Amino acid sequence: MNNDNLTPAQAADFLDISAHTVKKYARLLELRGHTIARNGLNHRIFTGTDLALMQAMGVLNRDKSVTLEHAADIVTSTDTDISVILGRNVTESEPQTVDSTEIAVQGELDIELFTQIFTQYQTDMTTLRNELEQRDQLMLKVQTLINEQLAEQAVTIEELREEVSELRKQSEEKPQPSIWTRIFGKA
């Protein structure tokens, strides 16, 4: 079994149930003698076996209309084969026995699957983050180019204003010929 232990939130995500439901399942299992490890802050940490038992409780409750209390009794019983429950092959007449190795293997497979999915999620998020950073850098370059072009245009506009102002001054200093002089070219 891997040393992978899940927090209640991770267990809830893995089992596709709420964290409140995980807590409820865990409490029911503990009341029936199943020990769930705790961390230094006394928070539950879940192993593959814990997840397999809770998953089996959910299957019994959902698919067989067994109350959660009775489901907890069944999965913690020494004569219950969890793999049969998880395989959805439970029948009332079928004798059931516990094989703790199978429970551990099922839990380990579930943890490995969760780990693979979580690793892929982290990889996808890293890729997305990198793509967003590249996009942001490109947008920054484009914004910088636009700002440079606007600054150049502002300089050009100021130069043209100065030229126009100079031309106005020159035209005001020269006496304007009369209209007849302009037409006939004589003074």
What number of H helices and E strands is found in the chain? 7, 0
Q: pLDDT tens digits, residue range 97-139?
A: 444 454 555 555 667 777 778 888 888 899 999 999 999 999 9
CATH number assigned to the domain with residue range 8-131, chosen from the 4 options 1.10.1660, 2.30.30, 1.20.1630, 3.10.20 = 1.10.1660
CB within 8 A of 47, min separation 6: which ones?
1, 4, 5, 6, 37, 107, 111
User: Do residues 94 and 84 touch, judged by C-beta distance below 8 A?
Assistant: yes
pLDDT tens per residue, range 2-13: 457 899 999 999
Q: Where are the domains of the chain?
A: 8-131, 139-182
Helix (H, G, I), strand (E, B) or coil at 28: helix
pLDDT for 89 equals: 43
Instruction: List, for residues 7-66, the tens digit of each pLDDT value.
Output: 999 999 999 999 999 999 999 999 999 999 999 999 999 998 999 999 999 989 988 888
Distances (CA, A) of 158 to 145, 148, 166, 179: 20, 15, 12, 34
pLDDT of residue 109: 60
